[in-house]
Amino acid sequence: MKVRFELLVSLIPLLIACSGNRLDVDVSAVKVEGIKIDRMEQDLFKTKQTDVNILQKQLQKKYGSFYESFQSVINTVGKPDSSDRYNLEMYVSDPEMKETFKDCQKTYPDLAWLEKDIHSVYQHFNYYFPSRQLPRVVTDMSAFYFYVLRVDSTIGIDLEMYLGSSNKIYQMIQFPKYKTMTMRKEYMVSDFVRGWMTTEFPKSDDKKDFLSEIIYEGKLMYLSDALIP
């Protein structure tokens, strides 16, 4: 058994060399519309709208169900009700959130690089799954509630979760070091892909054993390699 295992290990580099990289595909002919990322955090914190009721209507019209889910995050009661206006007003006027917003704008004044990267991801996704819908992408700030969130056909990326490992806000909140190590720009696209794929291909409810978990995680990793070559 030991000899067979050692022989197999010795053959792996040869097999890889002969087969090539199956994920090295040409997507230049795959047509995908240009990605335009809407920045909801700017609509929240840079607006000159003083009437919160009007601001709510504007956000609802522009972001639909995604804004409704975002609002449930900042609502103290956990669901939309008559306190929506008060909670939104408190959120955008909170000194720490305003400071975090400044950090987000300083770190990410322009997202052309992210639009380019996601465009490539979408090309690869369409190459493998041409009949599936591509989600809209927005950025936001959720008071450190999530990294990536999908609501219906929209995926939100929380910019405040990617301000750099040594950001003072993370130190103040006392995020554990193993988390802040990956709270950087370099991990944004891979987190986006993983968050998207867990909703595009959710786990089977009838398989909850440990082996099934391992296989599912392996599939997510392979998908990430396929979409981010």
Give me the pLDDT at residue 62, please.
Answer: 95
Question: Residues of 152-186 as b/e, b for ≥16 C-beta within 10 angstroms?
Answer: eebbbbbbbbbbeeebeebeeeebeeeebeebbee
Q: How many CA atoms lie within 13 A of 103 on its CB side?
A: 20
Give me the pLDDT at residue 74, please.
Answer: 76
Say yes or no to pLDDT of 48 above 80. Answer: no
| Span 74-85, pLDDT tens digits | 775 444 455 677
Give me the pLDDT at residue 2, please.
Answer: 46
Query: pTM score, two decimals?
Result: 0.84
Please check whether residue 213 is in contact with residue 175, taking contact to mean a CB–CB distance below 8 angstroms.
no
Give me the pLDDT at residue 47, please.
Answer: 78
CA distance 158 to 151: 14
Least confident of 18-27, 79-88, 205-214: 79-88
Give me the pLDDT at residue 207, please.
Answer: 73
For the chain, what percent of residues have pLDDT higher than 70? 86
CA distance 25 to 148: 27
Q: How confident is the model at residue 99 (pLDDT cuts 50, 70, 90)?
A: very high
Give me the pLDDT at residue 89, please.
Answer: 84
Q: Which amino acid is at 128?
A: Y
User: Backbone phi, then psi, for 65, in 5-degree steps?
Assistant: -65, -25
Say yes or no to pLDDT of 138 above 80. Answer: yes
Average confidence score pLDDT of the chain? 86
Mean pLDDT confidence for 37-55: 86
State the Rg of the chain over Cα. Answer: 21
β-pairing verdict for 148-151 and 154-158: antiparallel
| Residues β-bridged to residue 14 | none
